């Protein structure tokens, strides 16, 4: 379904500035998002990522600059922090229905896309971080959006779940052919599933393909120090996990879940 | 043999409970209890103004509600003071101002009774008022049903609701108007000082036994109706003040649901 609509601009911003209480949050930010591509905003805390996203969505007014949104565009939005108060009794089903009128089949279908169909009748407050983020993604997909805007979609998700979640986001994008605008603070996690990275720290420091960005001096200036002294711990896995945490064997491995005997002995 | 005034009181009380229970759920979900209280306290000023202008009290209450909401919105623009502090300021200054205006009117309009407004005067409700209350109840419930999905949506997350195309400010404003209307009707039943109880206690009691928003709204309505019936019964047979008896019945119901839900 991802088709030739590839180059159509869905959202763009020209020379955005945003100042609140004398504090400059965004300065001269220009960007555009096209159909079928995934753009990831990265930057340290306080870099203005969430402000930029909220301005692009029309939830906030920029102090300066121009915003273009394709007329009639439908946006599926996953906000950064979503806490549902326990006083509101809400099953996943009821939560999805806040997005509009849908029948049972449509709800099950959208949950299947994110592998959460078994949770349809569960109270949202009982879901784990990873499950909740997937349900949020499902809700954002319900209205067949042209653009998915995901603000830190992997927050509260463990490291294995994060990779699986970014995979799901990629599949969903390919299936729906929509544009994706993501916010993340970890380049390495999103590298595989993103086409273009925008490194933001009040202004746009650098932008480009994830491989180029990871070696870009501006990127290293911001993130380099944070990485120093963090020796990467890499090790080999003989199995992987699906979205439910079940062990699934890697291709060519016929003994799932079995660690090599003696590896942990002194 | 039951007297007419007790039947009238029951009819009026049930009409109010049918709206206070459901709307109270939104108040609880959106953490608007203090806002409801402020709206109720300012209602005295609305009543006083309406009486002096020879208008229906409900018009005064809704008018003051709108003024209050606008004032709150304006005050919240500068962020040094939190919403609950601002509401505390508005709530009590509106009540004090209401008491002053009321005392001025009292000298000019004989027979107007402050206590009836502060604590309710349900036994004095007449049939015309009951007809109006039921028309109001049907109207409020219709608008409530029409806004239902939007109300849940903004209770979950306003930003998400806005990106879905919901006019959040409009929904909030209309809900505030509905709340002001409920409060205006409730003054006659439980009085200005106890109105909020009828909004939040039944809703809070209903939470433990509900797993969906619709269930909670229906159960909350049922709880409110029961509180009205029990309270009026106690008031009739034990000669207790009616408004406070209704609120105490609701509160007893709440603690009872706490105990039973803790056992389950």
Measured between beta carbons, the chain B residues lying within 8 angstroms of A85 are: 29, 31
pLDDT band at A241 (very low <50, low <70, confident <90, very high): low
| Chain A: closest CA distance from residue B25 (Å) | 9
Residue A231, in any domain of the structure: no
Q: State yes or no: pLDDT of A214 exceeds 80.
A: no
Measured between beta carbons, the chain A residues lying within 8 angstroms of B157 are: 79, 82
Give the pLDDT of residue A263: 37
Residue B40, in any domain of the structure: yes
**Where residue B142 sits, what CATH number does that domain have?**
1.10.3470.10
Q: State yes or no: pLDDT of B235 exceeds 70.
A: yes
pLDDT by residue (tens digit) across B94-112? Answer: 999 999 999 998 888 777 8
Residue A250, in any domain of the structure: no
Residue A28, in any domain of the structure: yes
Give the pLDDT of residue A265: 36
**Cβ separation B207–A89 shorter than 8 A:** yes
**Residue A94 sits at the chain B interface (C-beta within 8 Å):** yes
Q: What is the chain B residue with the closest CA to A78?
A: B160
Give percent of chain B with pLDDT exceeding 90: 65
**Cβ separation A89–B164 shorter than 8 A:** no
Q: Rounded distance, CA A99 to CA A139, Å?
A: 7
Q: For chain A, what is the mean pLDDT?
A: 82
pLDDT band at B6 (very low <50, low <70, confident <90, very high): confident
Radius of gyration of chain A (CA): 20
**Residue A87 sits at the chain B interface (C-beta within 8 Å):** yes
Give the pLDDT of residue A229: 44
Measured between beta carbons, the chain B residues lying within 8 angstroms of A82 are: 156-157, 160
Mean pLDDT of A93-120: 94
Q: State yes or no: pLDDT of A115 exceeds 50.
A: yes
Q: Tell me which residue in B149, B162, B213 faces A90 most closely, judged by beta carbons.
A: B213
Mean pLDDT of B5-24: 94
Residue A241, in any domain of the structure: no
Give the pLDDT of residue A14: 93
Give the pLDDT of residue B2: 65
pLDDT by residue (tens digit) across B175-210? Answer: 999 999 999 889 888 999 899 999 999 999 999 999
Residue B184, in any domain of the structure: yes
Give the pLDDT of residue B152: 96
Residue A55, in any domain of the structure: yes
Asked whether the beta carbons of A31 and A12 are under 8 A apart, the reply is: yes
pLDDT band at A6 (very low <50, low <70, confident <90, very high): low
Which of B156, B162, B165, B216 is the best substitution to test chain A (most A C-beta atoms within 10 A)? B156
Give the pLDDT of residue A93: 96
Q: Rounded distance, CA A64 to CA A67, Å?
A: 10
Q: State yes or no: pLDDT of A249 exceeds 80.
A: no
What does pTM read for this prediction?
Answer: 0.85
Which of B25, B31, B78, B163 is the best substitution to test chain A (most A C-beta atoms within 10 A)? B163
Give the pLDDT of residue B54: 84
Give the pLDDT of residue A264: 40
Q: What is the chain B residue with the closest CA to A59?
A: B159
- Range of weakest confidence among A143-157, A220-234, B56-70, B76-90: A220-234
**Cβ separation A84–B153 shorter than 8 A:** no
| Chain A: closest CA distance from residue B204 (Å) | 8
Q: What is the chain A residue with the closest CA to B28?
A: A87
Q: For chain B, what is the mean pLDDT?
A: 91
Query: How many domains are contained in chain A?
Result: 1
**Residue A132 sits at the chain B interface (C-beta within 8 Å):** no
Q: Tell me which residue in B163, B164, B212 faces A89 most closely, judged by beta carbons.
A: B212
Q: State yes or no: pLDDT of A149 exceeds 50.
A: yes
Which of B148, B159, B219, B254 is the best substitution to test chain A (most A C-beta atoms within 10 A)? B159
Closest C-alpha to A79, from B213, B163, B166, B153: B163
Give the pLDDT of residue A242: 65
Residue A240, in any domain of the structure: no
Query: How many domains are contained in chain B?
Result: 1
pLDDT band at A234 (very low <50, low <70, confident <90, very high): very low
**Cβ separation B163–A57 shorter than 8 A:** yes
Q: Tell me which residue in B31, B164, B211 faces A99 most closely, judged by beta carbons.
A: B164
Q: What is the chain A residue with the closest CA to B77?
A: A21
For residue A18, what are the CA distances in angstroms to A24, A44, A96, A200, B76?
6, 17, 33, 14, 20
The domain of B125 spans 4-193
**Where residue A158 sits, what CATH number does that domain have?**
3.40.50.300
Residue A130, in any domain of the structure: yes
Q: Rounded distance, CA B177 to CA B181, Å?
A: 6
Q: What is the chain B residue with the closest CA to A90?
A: B212
If interface means Cβ-Cβ distance under 8 Å, which residues of chain B face chain A? 28-29, 31, 149, 152-153, 155-157, 159-164, 204, 207, 210-213, 215-216
**Cβ separation B156–A89 shorter than 8 A:** no
Which of A88, A94, A143 is the best substitution to test chain B (most B C-beta atoms within 10 A)? A88
Mean pLDDT of A127-151: 93
The domain of A212 spans 4-224
Check residues B204 and A244 and name the one with the higher pLDDT. B204
pLDDT band at A226 (very low <50, low <70, confident <90, very high): low
pLDDT by residue (tens digit) across B217-228? Answer: 999 999 999 999
**Cβ separation A98–B215 shorter than 8 A:** no
| Chain B: closest CA distance from residue A15 (Å) | 23
| Chain A: closest CA distance from residue B65 (Å) | 26
pLDDT by residue (tens digit) across A14-23? Answer: 999 999 888 8
pLDDT by residue (tens digit) across B132-165? Answer: 999 999 999 999 999 999 999 999 999 999 999 9
Check residues A208 and B201 and name the one with the higher pLDDT. B201
- Range of weakest confidence among A49-63, B21-35, B72-86: B72-86
How buried is residue A253: exposed, middle or buried, by Cβ count under 10 Å (0-12/13-18/19+)? middle
């Amino acid at each position: 379904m991802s088709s030739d609509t590839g180059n159509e601009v869905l959202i763009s911003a020209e020379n955005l500035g945003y100042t609140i209480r004398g504090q400059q949050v965004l300065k001269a930010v220009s960007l555009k998002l096209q159909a079928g591509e995934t753009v990831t905003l990265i930057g340290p805390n306080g870099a203005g990522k969430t402000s930029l996203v909220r301005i692009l969505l029309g939830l906030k007014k920029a102090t300066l600059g121009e915003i273009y949104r394709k007329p009639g565009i439908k946006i599926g939005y996953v906000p950064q922090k979503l806490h549902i108060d326990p006083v509101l009794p809400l099953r996943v089903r009821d939560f999805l229905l806040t997005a509009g009128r849908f029948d049972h089949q449509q709800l099950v279908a959208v949950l299947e896309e994110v592998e959460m169909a078994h949770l349809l009748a569960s109270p949202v407050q009982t879901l784990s971080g990873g499950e909740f983020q997937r349900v949020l993604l499902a809700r954002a997909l319900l209205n067949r959006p042209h653009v998915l805007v995901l603000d830190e979609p992997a927050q509260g998700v463990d490291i294995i779940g994060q990779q699986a979640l970014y995979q799901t986001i990629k599949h969903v994008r390919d299936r729906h052919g929509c544009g994706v605008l993501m916010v993340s603070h970890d380049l390495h996690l999103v590298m595989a599933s993103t086409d273009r990275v925008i490194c933001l720290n009040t202004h746009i420091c650098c932008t480009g393909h994830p491989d180029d960005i990871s070696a870009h001096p501006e990127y290293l200036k911001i993130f380099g120090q944070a990485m120093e002294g963090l020796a990467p711990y890499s090790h080999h896995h003989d199995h992987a996990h699906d979205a439910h945490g079940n062990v699934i064997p890697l291709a060519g491995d016929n003994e799932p879940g079995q660690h090599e005997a003696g590896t942990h002995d002194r | 043999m039951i007297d007419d005034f007790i039947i009238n009181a029951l009819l009026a009380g049930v009409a109010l409970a049918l709206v206070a229970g459901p709307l109270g759920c939104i108040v609880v979900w959106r953490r608007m209890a203090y806002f409801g209280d402020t709206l109720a306290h300012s209602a005295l000023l609305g009543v006083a103004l309406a009486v002096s202008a020879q208008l229906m009290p409900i018009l005064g209450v809704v008018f003051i509600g709108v003024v209050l909401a606008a004032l709150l919105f304006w005050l919240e623009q500068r962020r040094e003071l939190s919403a609950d502090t601002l509401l505390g300021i508005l709530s009590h200054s509106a009540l004090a101002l209401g008491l002053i205006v009321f005392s001025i009117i009292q000298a000019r309009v004989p027979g107007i009774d402050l206590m009836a407004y502060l604590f309710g005067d349900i036994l004095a409700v007449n049939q015309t008022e009951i007809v109006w209350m039921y028309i109001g109840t049907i109207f409020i419930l219709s608008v409530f049903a029409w806004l239902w999905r939007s109300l849940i949506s903004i209770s979950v997350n306003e930003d998400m609701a806005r990106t879905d195309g919901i006019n959040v400010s409009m929904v909030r404003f209309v809900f505030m108007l509905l709340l002001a209307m409920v409060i205006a009707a409730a003054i006659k039943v439980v009085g200005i000082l106890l109105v909020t109880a009828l909004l939040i206690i039944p809703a809070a009691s209903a939470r433990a036994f509900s797993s969906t928003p619709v269930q909670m709204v229906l159960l909350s309505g049922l709880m409110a109706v029961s509180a009205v019936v029990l309270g009026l019964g106690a008031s009739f047979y034990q000669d207790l003040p009616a408004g406070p008896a209704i609120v105490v019945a609701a509160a007893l119901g709440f603690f009872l649901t706490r105990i039973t839900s803790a056992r389950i």
